């Protein structure tokens, strides 16, 4: 080719063309080598990481016997849940008992390929990576096994080290446990909000039902909680919870767990979510707290984590009846009180959103108290109130519903009590009238306790109006004056002194000046201020005559009576040997009154109250168990004859005396009891029983003050007792007590053999010649001789140890052999003991 010829750039030699073709191969080989080197480096790094991390993995062998923290649960005798204590509410459920609908809902949303992968779902990870492209918020790809590893052993921090441990633990779990075991742990361990751990606890928390009864819609709602328990909480975020529920139903259908028809039905099912303040079980908060204290004293902090189940003596239906009866009695009393005004006043913004927030804030600070609910007034005039509750429900109160607050609706009402827009008030819904009515939170308190007198088992106990408002247990902790409810124990002592139901005692005035009393002059009165003159003992008790009780105590002797009442469980030092003891001026607890009246109800035996019958662990192993004690002669407190005659007297009180409405309303003749009202109506009581059930009701203010001139044990406490007994004695046949040996019926009245008419040994009359005196003559010693009719005013105090030597033995309080009666057996000193006198 000539030198000046154009160069042909396309021409090349075979060697050159081969060199050109080798560059792609070199690049490919170089890239492959780099990849292999990178992989080897990654493997080397991973190997080093594994070598370092694997030995530091926690020992997971304990999961083969999975035992999470389980709360302390307290049950009634008939299996109803009364209370639960522990940081984690959990009901451990074996895999076989978890319903398929719950498993399928969880698998559909959390890990549909759970039974296909080996712990790490690579397809799921790839799918999540693709889905996350272009998103600011990542989509997770954790399997159920990975979640178990994280929830049981690791924190939730997002670091490479934690993720490495999570993956390693996942492989370890898959190697050690079966898929069913892993899923069982997950279903029991996962936190689902509102202190609920595991789906069994969540079913109770959110729907108030066992997990086995969940529907598809309910299971789907619960399955949405693990991702974010607060965000998808059906109580606090119902709209977001429902949106996620609908998505899960769709996933369940896509995965073939439910049919199209089932999915459609689930989408439209209306769910009934339990409110946050609805505990869903029998109201026995005071019982549960008492048991908690006892169990904690025995087991310490382990009581809240080892899954102890405590069975009590409580009867659930009777407990609920007692709770409702006491609350109704207190609220009925509250309706008779002057309206004290709204609890608070809040500003109501004109902007709708701001208004809703202001109302929510106000009602959050004033939570509902059972059926006594809080509301904010939007409009108010003397004829109508428009108010709103926390669920944004608007309602009107008119007519009779305004009666309790008429003074607060008057335009002339003081600013503090005036009901106006922005006022926070209390309302109740009257189901009988299908209307709302205004009310107020009560200031008065109450107590209710019921025992089975045959063995001392506590059947119902309500320590106050509301445990969350006032945790003070008035049944066991409140020392109050018993008033006339204490008279039967004085009458019981009198029977041993020769008194009979027919003994005539003068209901005439008495006066004691300071020289006799050693203090203030004392002129006792009957409640109604009237004196009716001579009357038989049984009528005097039925009418609760104070003058008669004082004369009886003088004849018995205050010291003798003080000794006598200890047989019933009362403490002598709480009842000084003064004549005021006859009117109930000492101090008792409602539980002591229940113990005392049980002696009359069971034929004369002293039984100690008890509450815990059995404690078992989560495996069902019995740790503690007791059998109800049967009365024996070692437990005898008073003679059977004494108890029988006292029952006759107390029956008259309930049939024709101050508690006559009991027999009339309940339409029974086998009821017994005694009303009690202290000076100025500071304490009101009703202490009553059937032979199978003793029930005590007390009402009063924590800081003692008068309840009102017209308030008595018969008007306040007796209605509560009747309300309870309507439920408690339903289906219980009427009983007639059997007369014990040593009593005789003469003319329709019962007497001890030796004191019967004609025997000549009983006290026929007392105080018939006693006149009121402002300057009484020196008193004789308290009557100990039978048949004596004292003629002098009664000495208010008898020295414990007379100056002339020890007090002689009182033969009327001894057994036939001249020895003192055997005292009740020592109380049990184990965890099964609840109340100690």
What pLDDT, on a 0 to 100 scale, did the predictor assign at position 268? 94
Q: What are the tokens at 637? A: 């407190």
Give every CB contact of residue 102 below 8 A, 6+ residues apart in sequence.
Answer: 187, 199, 211, 214, 219, 222, 223
Burial class (CB in 10 A: 0-12, 13-18, 19+), 837: middle
**Lookup: tokens for 563:** 């000794």
- CA-based angle 495:500:502, to the nearest 5? 155
DSSP 396: E
> Which parts of the chain register pLDDT below 50?
1-3, 5-11, 132, 135-140, 770-837
Find all residues with CB under 8 Å of 494, minimum gap 6, and list them.
537, 552, 555, 556
Burial level of 395, CB count in 10 A (0-12/13-18/19+)?
middle
User: Angle 558-565/546-556 helices, nearest 10 degrees?
Assistant: 90
Distance CA 202, CA 411 (A): 50
Residues 430, 435: Cα–Cα separation, whole Å:
5
Distances (CA, A) of 624 to 72, 289, 310: 15, 19, 9
What does each C-alpha distance from 102 to 87, 222, 343, 565, 718 come to in angstroms? Answer: 24, 8, 45, 61, 50
- Residue 582 CA to residue 479 CA, distance in Å, equals 18
Q: Cα dist. 616→459, 556, 622 in Å?
A: 21, 50, 4
Q: Are 407 and 339 in contact (CB under 8 A)?
A: yes
698: β partners? 447, 685
Closest listed residue to residue 185, CA positions, set 305, 68, 61: 68
Q: Among candidates 421, 255, 303, which has minimal Cα distance to 831?
A: 303
Residue with tokens 């309940």: 666
| Pairing status of strand 309-312 against strand 72-75 | parallel
Residue 492 CB-half CA count within 13 A: 30
The whole-number pLDDT of residue 771 equals 45
With left for phi above 0 and alpha for psi between -120 and 50, is residue 97 left, alpha or beta?
alpha
Contacts of 549 (CB under 8 A, 6+ apart): 484, 487, 490, 491, 540, 582, 583
pLDDT of residue 274: 84
Residue 231, pLDDT score: 87
What whole-number distance in Å separates Cα of residue 338 and Cα of residue 341?
9
pLDDT at 749: 95
What's CA 497's distance to the chain center, in Å? 44
Tell me what pLDDT residue 42 has. 56
Q: What is residue 82's predicted lDDT score, i.e. its pLDDT?
A: 94
Give every CB contact of residue 264 below 8 A, 6+ residues apart in sequence.
none
User: What pLDDT does 819 receive?
Assistant: 33
Q: Among 152, 180, 178, which Cα is nearest to 165's?
A: 152
Residue 278 to residues 221, 315, 586, Cα–Cα distance (Å): 19, 21, 40
- Residue that is written with structure tokens 């000549």 in the block: 760
407 and 664 Cβ atoms separated by less than 8 Å: no
Vertex 433 angle, CA 432 and 436, to 5°: 115
Active site residues: 110, 484
- CA dist 507 and 525 (Å) reads 10
Radius of gyration of the chain from Cα atoms? Answer: 39
**Burial class of residue 541, CB neighbours in 10 A (0-12, 13-18, 19+):** buried
pLDDT at 38: 62
Question: CA nearest 526: which of 712, 339, 398, 370?
Answer: 712
pLDDT recorded at residue 527: 85
Q: Dihedrals φ, ψ of 698, to 5°? A: -130, 145
* pLDDT at 39 (0 to 100): 62
Distance CA 92, CA 189 (A): 9
Output the pLDDT for position 372: 94
First to last CA, the chain: 132
Instruction: Record the tokens describing residue 708, joined without a space.
Output: 């009102």
**SS3 of residue 387 by DSSP:** strand
Q: Is 370 left (phi over 0), alpha (psi -120 to 50) or beta?
A: left
């Amino acid at each position: 080719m000539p030198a000046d010829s154009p160069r042909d750039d396309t021409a090349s030699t075979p060697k050159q063309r081969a060199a050109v073709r080798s560059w792609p191969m070199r690049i490919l080989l170089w890239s492959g080598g780099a990849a292999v080197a990178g992989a080897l480096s990654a493997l080397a790094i991973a190997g080093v990481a594994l070598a370092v991390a694997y030995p530091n993995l926690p020992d997971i062998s304990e999961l083969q016997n999975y035992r999470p923290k389980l709360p302390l649960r307290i049950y009634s005798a008939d299996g109803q849940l009364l209370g639960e204590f522990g940081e984690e509410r959990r009901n451990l459920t074996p895999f076989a008992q978890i319903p398929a609908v719950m498993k399928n809902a969880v698998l559909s949303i959390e890990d549909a390929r759970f039974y296909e992968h080996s712990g790490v779902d690579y397809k799921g990870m790839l799918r999540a990576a693709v889905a996350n492209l272009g998103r600011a918020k990542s989509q997770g790809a954790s399997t159920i096994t990975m979640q178990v590893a994280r929830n049981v052993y690791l924190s939730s921090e997002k670091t490479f080290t934690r993720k490495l441990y999570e993956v390693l633990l996942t492989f370890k779990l898959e190697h050690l446990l079966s898929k069913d075991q892993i899923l069982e742990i997950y279903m029991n361990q996962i936190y689902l909000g509102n202190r609920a751990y595991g789906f069994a606890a969540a079913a109770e928390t959110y729907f108030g039902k066992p997990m086995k009864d969940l529907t598809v819609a309910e299971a789907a709602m619960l399955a949405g909680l693990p991702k974010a328990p607060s965000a998808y909480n059906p109580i606090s975020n119902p709209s977001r919870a429902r949106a996620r529920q609908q998505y899960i139903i769709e996933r369940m259908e896509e995965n073939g767990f439910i049919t199209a028809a089932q999915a459609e039905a689930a989408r439209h099912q209306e769910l009934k979510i339990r409110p946050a303040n609805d505990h869903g079980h029998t109201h026995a908060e005071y019982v549960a707290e008492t048991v908690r204290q006892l169990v904690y004293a025995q087991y310490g902090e382990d009581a809240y984590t080892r899954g102890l189940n405590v069975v009590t003596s409580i009867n659930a239906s009777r407990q609920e009846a007692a709770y409702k009866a006491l609350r109704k009695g207190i609220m009925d009393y509250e309706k008779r009180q002057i309206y004290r005004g709204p609890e608070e006043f809040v500003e109501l913004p004109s902007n709708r959103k701001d208004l809703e927030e202001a109302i929510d804030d106000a009602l959050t600070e004033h939570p509902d108290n059972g059926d006594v609910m809080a509301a904010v007034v939007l409009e108010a005039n003397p004829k109508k109130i428009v108010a709103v509750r926390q669920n944004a429900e608007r309602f009107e109160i008119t007519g009779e519903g305004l009666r309790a607050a008429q003074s607060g609706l008057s335009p002339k009402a003081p600013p503090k009590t005036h009901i106006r827009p922005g006022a926070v008030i209390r309302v109740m819904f009257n189901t009988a009238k299908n209307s709302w009515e205004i009310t107020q939170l009560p200031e008065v308190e109450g107590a209710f306790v019921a025992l089975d007198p045959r063995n001392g088992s506590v059947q119902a106990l309500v320590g106050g109006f509301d445990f969350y408002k006032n945790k003070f247990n008035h049944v066991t902790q409140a020392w109050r004056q018993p008033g006339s409810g204490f008279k039967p124990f004085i009458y019981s002592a009198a029977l041993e002194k020769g008194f009979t139901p027919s003994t005539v005692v003068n209901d005439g005035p008495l006066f004691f000046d300071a020289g006799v009393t050693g203090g203030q002059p004392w002129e006792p009165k009957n409640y109604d201020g009237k004196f009716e003159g001579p009357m038989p003992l049984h009528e005097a008790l039925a009418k609760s005559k104070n003058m008669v009780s004082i004369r009886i105590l003088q004849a018995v002797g205050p010291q003798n009576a003080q000794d006598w009442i200890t047989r019933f469980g009362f403490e002598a030092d709480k009842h000084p040997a003064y004549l005021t003891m006859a009117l109930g001026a000492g101090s008792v607890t409602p539980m002591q009154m229940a113990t005392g009246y049980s002696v009359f109800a069971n034929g004369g035996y002293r039984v100690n109250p008890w509450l815990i019958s059995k404690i078992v662990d989560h495996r069902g192993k019995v740790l503690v168990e007791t059998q109800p004690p049967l009365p024996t002669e070692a437990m005898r407190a008073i003679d059977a004859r004494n108890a029988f005659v006292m029952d006759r007297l107390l029956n008259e009180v309930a049939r024709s005396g101050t508690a006559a409405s009991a027999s009339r309303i309940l339409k029974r003749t086998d009821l017994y009891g005694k009303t009690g009202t202290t000076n100025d109506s500071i304490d009101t009581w009703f202490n009553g029983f059937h032979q199978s059930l003793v029930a005590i009701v007390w009402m009063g203010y924590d800081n003692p003050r008068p309840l009102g001139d017209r308030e008595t044990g018969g008007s306040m406490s007796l209605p509560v007792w009747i309300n309870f007994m309507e439920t408690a004695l339903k289906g219980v046949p009427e009983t007639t007590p059997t007369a014990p040996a040593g009593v005789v019926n003469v003319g329709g009245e019962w007497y001890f053999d030796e004191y019967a008419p004609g025997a000549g040994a009983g006290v026929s009359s007392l105080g018939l010649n006693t006149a009121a005196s402002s300057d009484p003559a020196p008193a004789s010693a308290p009557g100990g001789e039978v048949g004596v009719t004292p003629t002098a005013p009664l000495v208010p105090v008898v020295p414990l140890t007379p100056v002339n030597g020890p007090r002689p033995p009182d033969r009327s309080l001894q057994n036939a052999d001249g020895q003192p009666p055997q005292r009740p057996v020592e109380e049990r000193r184990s965890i099964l003991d609840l109340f100690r006198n």
